[in-house]
């Protein structure tokens, strides 16, 4: 859409093609200043003097700019952030040739508002987002550091707040960070972002994911429902809701959600990994193996995907030829902890009891393993028939309030024994709020 002509009348009121723009007083004053200075950058100090009488917080200006951006978008204009300086009025990027008007919300709706910032900000956001989607502990930790800095430096850039909340949830999922304070941090970040721009894509989805790891499933379900109503074509929203469904034991529904998300974003490895997990949970092992292998093949060289593919194969169709590649994963000086959990599981599924126990004992007795990380060894122990020891690991994680426990309890490796074990039954009731079965 070609930008409409913006002008000021004699009283300083903004006009679009000669017609008054209905704006609240502060937005009107900010737009008037942007128009008078266009195409120059307007500093925060000048905004404070023009619209706030000199007493203005960064968050107040960010909220005002966010509302003004929504008002100007239909006019073909945008307010661009200039890091460390202020804001500048600019024409909006044109829609791609051939894009029909009035269509439904496109896929990846989170990325469009995220690009409305200076290039370095957008680059930092995209890099952190890509790191978080790798879902390895090291990558997630790096993403959190980048996003915390970005949120502190630019509180008005609300897409970074959503990405930070997502990354914090992922860190809880690995047992890297304590659940309670980390959930509190994430919810506070989202509350601040919502106060600035309540229409930021992903706010409700990120909130739902954090509530899920806090085992607040009813509140999480309501947040996911709001997210789906606002962003039905957002792959991230569909993914987070599918994870919620898996925690609630609704694997078939989760598979449908993930198939829809994958059609929108076919090269996102986390989507295929989660779909593969959902298919196993739904009892569809051959499809699960195909999805895990597709994720591995689409992203060659990623250790997590190679390990995940082996774990799914060991779950769905254990075969002797899996042992050699599982051992190869552990080659190298700095083998990530998740590799040892996969190797021990593969060995356990192949009946290699002593080799599996050597790895499990080394991890649980001879190394510094968090209770969250320790839960990942419950699956190989259960495969070896040592359900009491597996139950003890899960019990410790529950006592520690480990956020990842909900997904671990739904691991298909535990479906056969957990409901019949006294500790298992109590854990299922404690985490999910009702007796298993």
Residue 325 has pLDDT above 70, yes or no: yes
pLDDT band at 92 (very low <50, low <70, confident <90, very high): low
pLDDT value for 434: 61
Q: Is the pLDDT of residue 112 over 80?
A: no
Domain closes at, from 75, 103, 131: 103
pLDDT at 273: 96
pLDDT for the residue numbered 97: 41
Residue in the structure block whose two tokens are 């799914």: 312
What one-character-per-residue DSSP string does 49-109 give? HHHSTT---HHHHHHHHHHHHHHHGGGTEEEEEETTTEEEEEEPPPPPTTPPTTPPPPS-T
pLDDT, position 136: 86
CATH of the domain at 96: 1.10.10.10
81 in helix, strand or coil?
strand
Among 84, 103, 122, identify where a domain stops. 103
Check pLDDT > 70 for residue 77.
yes
Q: Could you tell me which residue, 93 or 345, shows the higher pLDDT?
A: 345
Q: Which of 57-66, 195-204, 422-431 has the lowest mean pLDDT?
A: 57-66
The answer as to whether 128 is a domain residue is no
Query: Is residue 144, in this structure, part of any structural domain at all?
Result: no
Please report which residue ranges of 284-336 form alpha helices under DSSP H.
Answer: 285-298, 303-316, 323-329
**Full-model pTM:** 0.79
Partnered with residue 90 across adjacent β-strands are 78
Q: Which pLDDT tens digit goes with each residue over 155-210?
A: 889 999 999 999 999 999 877 899 999 999 999 999 999 988 888 999 999 999 99
pLDDT, tens digit (0-9, with 9 covering 90-100), for 305-317 = 999 999 999 999 9
Percent of the chain with pLDDT over 90: 67
Which pLDDT value is given to residue 116?
73
Nearest residue to 238 via CA among 218, 215, 216, 256: 256
Residue 190 lies in a domain: no
Indicate whether 153 pLDDT > 60: yes
In a domain, 324, yes or no: yes
Give the per-residue pLDDT at 436. Answer: 42
Decide which of 94 and 259 is more confident: 259
The pLDDT score that the predictor gives to residue 105 is 45
Average pLDDT over every residue of 97-106 = 42
**Is 77 a member of any domain?**
yes
Residue 159 confidence (pLDDT): 94
Average pLDDT over the chain, rounded to an integer: 90
Mean pLDDT confidence for 356-364: 95
> Which pLDDT score is estimated for 435?
56
pLDDT at 103: 38
Position 374 scores a pLDDT of: 93
Residue 431 reports pLDDT greater than 80: yes
62 within domain boundaries: yes
Structural domain ending residue among the three candidates 70, 103, 136 = 103
Give domain status of residue 273, yes or no.
no
- The pLDDT of residue 32 is 93
Token couple for 324: 């050699």
Range of the domain at 30: 6-103
High-pLDDT (> 70) share of the chain, % = 94
pLDDT at 84: 67
Say if 237 falls within a structural domain: no
Q: How many domains does the chain have?
A: 2
Residue 158's alpha-carbon distances to 115, 127, 146, 241, 410, in angstroms, are 11, 16, 14, 21, 33
pLDDT higher than threshold 70 for residue 290: yes
């Amino acid at each position: 859409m070609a930008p409409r002509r913006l002008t000021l009348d004699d009283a300083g009121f903004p006009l679009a093609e000669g017609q008054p723009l209905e704006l609240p007083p502060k937005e009107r004053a900010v737009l008037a200043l942007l128009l008078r200075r266009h195409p120059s950058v307007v500093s925060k100090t000048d905004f404070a003097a023009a619209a706030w009488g000199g007493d203005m917080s960064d968050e107040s200006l960010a909220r005002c700019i966010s509302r003004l951006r929504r008002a100007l978008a239909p006019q073909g204009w945008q307010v661009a952030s200039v890091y460390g300086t202020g804001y500048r009025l600019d024409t909006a990027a044109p829609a791609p040739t051939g894009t029909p008007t009035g269509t439904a919300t496109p896929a990846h709706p989170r990325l469009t508002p995220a690009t409305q910032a200076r290039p370095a900000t957008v680059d930092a956001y995209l890099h952190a987002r890509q790191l978080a989607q790798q879902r390895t502990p090291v990558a997630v930790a790096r993403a959190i550091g980048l996003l915390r800095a970005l949120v502190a430096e630019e509180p008005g850039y609300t897409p970074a707040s959503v990405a930070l909340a997502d990354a914090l949830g992922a860190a809880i999922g690995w047992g890297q960070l304590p659940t309670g304070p980390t959930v509190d941090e994430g919810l506070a970040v989202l509350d601040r972002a919502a106060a600035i721009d309540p229409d930021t894509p992903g706010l409700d989805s990120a909130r739902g994911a954090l509530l899920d790891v806090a085992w607040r499933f009813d509140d999480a379900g309501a947040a996911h429902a709001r997210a789906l109503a606002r962003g039905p074509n957002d792959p991230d929203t569909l993914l987070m809701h599918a994870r919620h469904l898996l925690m609630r034991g609704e694997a078939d529904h989760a598979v449908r959600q993930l198939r829809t998300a994958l059609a929108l974003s076919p090269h996102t490895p986390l989507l295929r990994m989660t779909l593969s997990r959902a298919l196993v949970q739904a009892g569809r092992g051959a499809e699960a193996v195909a999805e895990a292998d597709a994720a591995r093949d689409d992203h060659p060289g990623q250790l997590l995907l190679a390990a995940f593919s082996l774990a799914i194969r060991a779950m769905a169709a254990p075969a002797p030829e899996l042992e050699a590649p599982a051992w190869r994963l552990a080659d190298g000086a700095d083998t990530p902890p998740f590799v040892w959990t996969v190797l021990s599981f593969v060995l356990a599924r192949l009946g290699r009891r002593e080799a599996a126990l050597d790895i499990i004992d080394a991890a649980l007795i001879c190394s510094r393993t968090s209770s969250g990380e320790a839960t990942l060894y419950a699956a190989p122990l259960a495969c070896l028939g040592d359900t009491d020891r597996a139950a003890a690991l899960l019990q410790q994680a529950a006592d520690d309030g480990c956020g990842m426990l909900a997904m671990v309890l739904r691991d298909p490796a535990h479906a056969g024994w957990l409901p019949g074990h006294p500790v298992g039954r109590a854990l299922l009731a404690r985490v999910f709020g009702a007796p298993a079965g």
